[in-house]
Chains A and B, each alone.
Chain A
């Protein structure tokens, strides 16, 4: 589903991604972790073309992302993305947030879009908040709406960019529950996350990055029990014991 080959990217002289290769098969969950500044968020933003890259290739569902001829809006409509800071549109109600792209991008009617929105709000447990504005919701609720907004496009895969790191600790669980439930339904997911409990529970593989490189790309159990590199061991020791 997602195939990343020899990806490199520079900001001026600084190399932020160094020859990264990995993949996510259909129905798989892959968790990307690593210290801050390691290039995880940049990597995941390359997947739907929000960040351009200098070298290498990415294909998503057979479509080449870096190809200048690619219709990026059309590709992005099929790849859902959930952001660290939710990025709901604050001037629109929850139901409008869910309906906007369904109507403008997929060409659904208002009624269709609204019905799909309500069904998804129900799924993330927020049906009664449809008329509220993002500013009236808690962080956890906003992130669940953001997931519903991504799902409303019927994506072939979902990208998560640190979906829980801007949340208060007591709200992390409600968002992870939704993500676990999604994983169980067979959704293809690539998640930048430090939630190792989540990774253990649903991830097929864990990709560990440091200084723009993919240091390890291993089955989840193996990564947690016997990380191959010293850097991964140090990282795990640090985040598991805090």
Chain B
């Protein structure tokens, strides 16, 4: 391989600016974290609600929940990014449409976080529904028999158990959020992948750049994984270890 290695490149100044390449990457990391964490909050909140809807005894909420999941699960994430960014504003009322196109602050960031959040919510909903389905039906009966309403039954009895069961699959969804956030570069969010491409072109040290970026993504996903393992240990119920595995 005839390549001129230069690991010192990260501390060098970018062409025509007083930042270093490392500054670029760290800014990118910041936006990656911001998009991912915002998206995760949206995904968890909506995913739990939609997942619960899909496990209800009556038909309408189940159909609504299923439609949601199929909608967001069957379109590629990249296409969804473009849809939200370029297509959706056209369908808004005229004033809103203008505002979104011209004045909306942090437009790229908010669009990316919303899009990734909704996309992931469909996947979280699927896990939550499976978790609820794995509980014995008697748990719901017992809660209802005590006079709890259906929402109270979900809040205090069904979801606390179902969520504990689905922590392992949710962990991979959380890791996926960090990895999928790289798609946000396509609509111009200055996140890690965007900055990496910029650094590659500017510095012509593509290998070091992408190795560094790989490491940063790896650290994010790995930290997400460790965090979830910690939560799993914290919420473990005495006498129930065998069941949650």
Contacts and interface: CB of A to CB of B under 8 A. Distances in A.
A95 B24 CA distance: 55
Given A83-B141, A87-B136, A77 B238 contact: no
Among B142, B144, B164: residue with most chain A CB under 10 A: B142
Interface stretch (A8-16, A132-140, A232-240): A132-140
B164 to A, nearest CB: 7
Interface string A36-79: 00000000010010100000000000000000000011111111
A234 B147 CA distance: 39
Interface string B138-152: 110111111111001
B147 A135 contact: no
Contacts of B237: 90-91, 133, 135
Contact of A149 (B146, B148, B161): B146
B144 A50 contact: yes
Interface in A141-162: 149-150, 153
A105 interface: yes
Contacts of A76: 144-147
Interface residues of B, number: 23
A75 B237 CA distance: 32
A153 B147 contact: yes
B238 A133 contact: yes
A183 interface: no
Contact of A73 (B149, B160, B240): B149
Contact of B145 (A50, A85, A134, A135): A50
Nearest to B242: A135
Contacts of A178: none
A130 B170 CA distance: 32
A189 interface: no
A73 B148 contact: yes
Interface residues of A, number: 35
B206 to A, nearest CB: 51
B239 interface: yes
A74 B146 CA distance: 9
A133 B146 CA distance: 19
B230 to A, nearest CB: 18
Among B143, B145, B152, B156: residue with most chain A CB under 10 A: B145
B142 A81 contact: yes
Contacts of B149: 73
A135 B238 contact: yes
B157 interface: yes
Contacts of A133: 237-240
A135 B142 contact: no
Given A133-B238, A133-B239, A133-B240, A89 B147 contact: no
A27 B146 CA distance: 21
A11 B243 CA distance: 32
B136 A73 contact: no
A87 to B, nearest CB: 4
Nearest to B241: A135
A73 B238 contact: no
Interface in B153-201: 156-157, 160-161, 164
A104 interface: yes
Nearest to B139: A87
Given A50-B141, A90-B240, A136-B238, A74 B147 contact: yes
Contacts of B136: 85, 87
Given A104-B156, A133-B240, A136-B238, A89 B148 contact: no
A100 interface: yes
Nearest to A87: B142
Interface string B65-86: 0000000000000000000000
Given A76-B146, A100-B146, A149-B146, A91 B160 contact: yes
Interface of A: 45, 48, 50, 72-81, 83-85, 87-91, 100-101, 104-106, 132-137, 149-150, 153
14 contacts: A45-B141, A76-B147, A77-B147, A83-B141, A87-B136, A87-B138, A87-B141, A89-B142, A91-B164, A100-B148, A132-B239, A133-B237, A135-B243, A153-B146
**Top-8 shortest CB links A-B:** A135-B239, A77-B147, A87-B142, A101-B146, A136-B239, A81-B145, A105-B147, A87-B138
Given A45-B141, A150-B146, 17 more contacts: A48-B145, A50-B145, A73-B144, A75-B147, A76-B144, A77-B146, A85-B136, A89-B139, A89-B157, A90-B243, A91-B160, A91-B164, A105-B148, A133-B240, A135-B238, A149-B146, A153-B146
